Structure 1
Amino acid sequence: MQSVQGSPAMTTSGSFLPSSSKAFIKWALLATVAIINGYATILMYSRGETAFAMLTVVLTALALYIFGNKKMYAQRYIYPGIAGMILFIIFPLVYTVGLSLTNYSAKNQLSFERAQSVLLERTFQSGQSYPFALYQTPSGTRLVIDKAGERFATAPFDMASMSNETLALSPVESLSGEKATLRDVIKNRDTLSQVDVQFPNGDTIRMSGLRKFAAEQPLYTLQDDGRTLINNKTGDTLKPNDEIGFYQPIDEAGQFIGDTVAPGYVVQIGTDNFERVWTDDGIKEPFIGIFIWTIVFSLLTVVFTLIIGLILANVVQWEELKGRAIYRVLLILPYAVPAFISILIFRGLFNQSFGEINMVLEALFGISPNWFDDPFLARVMVVLVNTWLGFPYMMILCMGLLKAIPDDLYEASAIDGANFIQNFTRITLPLMIKPLMPLLIASFAFNFNNFVMIMLLTEGGPNMIGTTEPAGYTDLLVSYTYRIAFEGGGGQDFGLASAVATLIFLLVGALALINLRLTKVTES
């Protein structure tokens, strides 16, 4: 059939564009993406973000290969999933492992070049200081310095156009104009701090405070080797100590002595952080204790929530119970309320002095437990609160699974004279355990990393005594890692926290493999 004159003819693929035009548009888009991401990569690399630059290169190269290759047409649909896996799983894992092999911390977070430049920017007052004043004249601003009873002033200049300039001082007997206030000095402080003024004898001074200028010079001078620094104030020689990531003074024999000089820089230290976990008793003992408690906490939570949820699911589905719908809604409410609100409410209920729970216990039994200071009671409280938050979820799961069990099985067992316990052990439990097993494993994994619960209720406390890094009796491994990273007494130790996070990943991975094996055993 002939096409209508003046209208574009459709190709066999159903598109109005010829194949050459589509190819041009495709390669133009790919080239644009490559140029933009290439520019972003260069910017990140120039700022020292090598890991993110490499991530951008990998994702861009993968996209260009998949979308530019006709043989990879099917992979175009799964590229978003692949990119997401690389971006949110593989990259964070590799980045964490990389940090664990460094001394990255609050004290050591700069590159060597940046730390060196910070030191070279420092100055010290090497001579006498002199009071100064600013005078506003019709010709501009004049800087006035008083020295040994003699007054010196600069030529009028425009404050707005000044930047890193040297102004000459000359003796003056009288000045005209209005003296600037301290507020004006503060307003122009950044500009004045970049200006050097020079006396007739050649001495140069610069701003050292809001009311004075003084002779200043760089505190450190870089030597020809590009690494050694000389302290111009004390004469000490400093070299970078690459074992700890700090500049440090050396003696005549070249040995490091004295205190380190901040800021520090990031260096590769190999497996030192992992060795600290196993050799430092202040880290090893709380780590092992917290690991055991994390497993116990997760298991107890799963067991208690399952038992309570299963019992309540049977109760609310009992046909003889009137108002089952009301009870069902009331029991699901703890799951509907945001967890952080419930946790904060429980924190108030368990308060030793004003909490309602202690008020009831004291009225009935004459006791007032110290829930937050006693390690055992704190752990009991954490399990109780987490069970309260988790049982509605298990109840909902069990209700659905109970509905899926055919009534014919219970009718047949009733004919055989089976009782409630026999029905549960021979029909209900066997039919529920297989579909429940993956959900129980997921619940265990969730509670293994239940960071919000611990931090909102106890903040990991009560704290252990004699530990190198902050650790508490209710800390889980995830909260312990957080406290090392952000609450470390010796500075935020991100390298050590990354090492602990890597060990957690390996432990959780091993537990996941064990759970998968157990799941296969139950299915066989």
Structure 2
Amino acid sequence: MKSQQERSKFEVRWWLKWSLLGLIGTVNGYATVLMYAQGEIPFALLTVVITTLCLYIFGSKRTYAHRYIFPGVVGMLVFIIFPLVYTIGLSFTNYSASNQLTLDRAQTILLQRSFQSGKSYLFDLYKLDTGHQLIIKADNALFASEVFDISNPPADDFMKLQEIDAASGEKEIIRTIVQNRSNLNKIELIMPNGEHIRMSGLRRFAAETPLFTVEEDGLSLLNNQNQQRYKPNLETGFYQPIDNEGNFVGESISPGFVVSVGGANFERVMTDDGIKEPFIGIFIWTVVFAFLSVALTLALGMILACIVQWEPLKGSGFYRVLLILPYAVPSFISIIIFKGLFNQSFGEINMMLDAMFGIKPSWFSEPTLARFMVVLVNTWLGFPYMMILCMGLLKSIPEDLYEASAIDGAGPIHNFFMITLPLLIKPLTPLLIASFAFNFNNFVMIQLLTAGGPNMVGTSEPAGYTDLLVSYTYRIAFEGGGGQDFGLAGAIATLIFLMVGGMSLLNLRLSKSTLEQD
């Protein structure tokens, strides 16, 4: 009896498990088809990979243990690997604000354009007992449409106009036309002379003709207004006019489409003086900023840790809490406060300097002062973290070393450089490298404090003297004067990834080396 009950429970669990997995597979499969149909191929592939992993791990007994790490694996795929691969993929394309569509989608949008090819006529909208009616005024005559439901107009059929002597019903106000404009735009009327007209304004219907028509090759477009032929330029990602010999001439038309440009974006970083010069300058400044941030926060944090750990110091617990406060307060609040303190006209720092020395430094407009301010603020934000680390490591140093040093007559300074510093630097090295990598990409502090300014002059893309590579990439992607060049931003982001990845490998190597020596 007991075994029969166990088998029943097993069968219920089996059916429940495979029903749930089947439902997940069906829903995700449908979502994948929709994404693929919309041209979102990378997201469709990501969905396929995640769904396959889910079905395999939860459907096989051999992968039972992997079920517990599946959420972490999915998180890594969605938030780390996929954005990284997607960004690298963008760096080899011309993806930008004006080039975001596929070629087919760009062609479809162009084919939806029209131009006024004939006369325009005034119209009024009248409400009748059975619906609404359009009254067209043309050549001192009135022409009425069929009565229709304004909430569901006949979009697929043409409505013929009949001449009438006078309009009947209640004339609608302009507000009603505005509220129902999208539905009225779907209506196509036929004049008695055979002319097709559509709504071209809040008070007018006009004869409109498609601006472009597709030619026999399925790609080229003919401009029906000026008979100019257009062909997709697969190098620039735009439809462009061509001459009789098929050569591209004249200006391209938007919207553009995404094409592969190979390593052109990386080449621009290396060869375009308007990008290369600020990139090199910003790269050097990023390295200097990260190094100074680590060195100053370490020096200040280590000195303060030694002071608050000094036994003769009274009230050391109070000082510890006080010095940790900058770390406890959210950084964005501290940054905004410092931005106000350094205000050139009304900031307290300039008010004090003006009262004491008669000077008002231009913290946000002079490059050197702006960089000094950025390093100073970042040191304030970072020293509590280093102090906490050093306080913990100081506890691990044997007191015997200091006692032996005291017998030899050494003082506090000698002890710090010969005992404390060597014993702290070794375990701190991996953490210092991690801190360097963090400050290398310290976007929040730069964006909130200076937004990268003061801006450089004569650059192809927006760049500032306090920009780090990460904020420079952000400005190219979202503030670019050339139309938000995501492809170029992706190339720079890829270079940043390689740099930070190299630092991470160095960190792992040093950590492994430290563990082996210990």
- TM-score by length of structure 2 reads 0.95
The farther-off stretch of 160-169 and 477-486 is 160-169
Other structure's SS at 1:159 match? coil
1:63 corresponds to which residue? 54
User: How many residues are aligned here?
Assistant: 515
Tell me by how many angstroms 1:129 deviates. 0.6
User: Does structure 2 retain, via aligned residues, the 8 Å contact 1:102–1:267?
Assistant: yes
1:162 corresponds to which residue? 153
Task: Kindly indicate whether residue 171 of structure 2 is the aligned counterpart of residue 179 of structure 1.
Answer: yes
Task: Kindly indicate whether residue 294 of structure 2 is the aligned counterpart of residue 302 of structure 1.
Answer: yes
Gapped runs of 5+ residues in structure 2?
none
* C-alpha distance in 2 between matches for 1:104 and 1:282: 20
- Mark the CA change 1:180 to 1:91 in structure 2 (over 3 Å): closer, same or farther: same
* C-alpha distance in 2 between matches for 1:284 and 1:153: 66
Q: What amino acid does structure 2 have at the position aligned with 1:415? A: I
Other structure's SS at 1:119 match? helix
Other structure's SS at 1:404 match? coil
Other structure's SS at 2:118 match? strand
**Aligned partner of 1:119 among 110, 123, 140:** 110
Tell me by how many angstroms 1:460 deviates. 0.3
1:480 corresponds to which residue? 472
Equivalent runs, 1:428-443 vs 2, <5 Å: 428-443=420-435
- Mark the CA change 1:264 to 1:397 in structure 2 (over 3 Å): closer, same or farther: same
Other structure's SS at 1:255 match? coil
User: Does structure 1 retain, via aligned residues, the 8 Å contact 2:122–2:204?
Assistant: yes
- Mark the CA change 1:192 to 1:9 in structure 2 (over 3 Å): closer, same or farther: same
Gapped runs of 5+ residues in structure 1?
none
**Aligned partner of 1:331 among 301, 314, 323:** 323
- Mark the CA change 1:147 to 1:508 in structure 2 (over 3 Å): closer, same or farther: same
- Mark the CA change 1:155 to 1:39 in structure 2 (over 3 Å): closer, same or farther: closer
Other structure's SS at 1:160 match? coil
* C-alpha distance in 2 between matches for 1:80 and 1:389: 34
Tell me by how many angstroms 1:18 deviates. 5.3
2:332 corresponds to which residue? 340
2:120 corresponds to which residue? 129
Other structure's SS at 1:175 match? coil
* C-alpha distance in 1 between matches for 2:130 and 2:333: 66
**Aligned partner of 2:82 among 83, 86, 91:** 91
* C-alpha distance in 1 between matches for 2:149 and 2:68: 63
Tell me by how many angstroms 1:517 deviates. 4.4
Deviations 1:388-431 (A, max 9, x none): 11111111111111122222322222223222123222321222
Tell me by how many angstroms 1:516 deviates. 4.2
Tell me by how many angstroms 1:276 deviates. 0.7
The farther-off stretch of 214-223 and 394-403 is 394-403
**Aligned partner of 2:183 among 191, 194, 207:** 191
User: Does structure 1 retain, via aligned residues, the 8 Å contact 2:427–2:514?
Assistant: no
**Aligned partner of 1:148 among 139, 150, 154:** 139
Q: What amino acid does structure 2 have at the position aligned with 1:58? A: V
The farther-off stretch of 369-378 and 56-65 is 56-65
Sequence identity, in percent? 64
* C-alpha distance in 1 between matches for 2:62 and 2:129: 77
1:350 corresponds to which residue? 342
The farther-off stretch of 321-330 and 455-464 is 321-330
**Aligned partner of 1:499 among 486, 491, 494:** 491
2:357 corresponds to which residue? 365
Q: What amino acid does structure 2 have at the position aligned with 1:277? A: V
1:387 corresponds to which residue? 379
Q: What amino acid does structure 1 have at the position aligned with 2:124? A: A
User: Does structure 1 retain, via aligned residues, the 8 Å contact 2:456–2:465?
Assistant: yes
- Mark the CA change 1:515 to 1:156 in structure 2 (over 3 Å): closer, same or farther: closer
Tell me by how many angstroms 1:521 deviates. 6.1
Q: What amino acid does structure 2 have at the position aligned with 1:428? A: T
Task: Kindly indicate whether residue 208 of structure 2 is the aligned counterpart of residue 212 of structure 1.
Answer: no
* C-alpha distance in 1 between matches for 2:410 and 2:514: 25
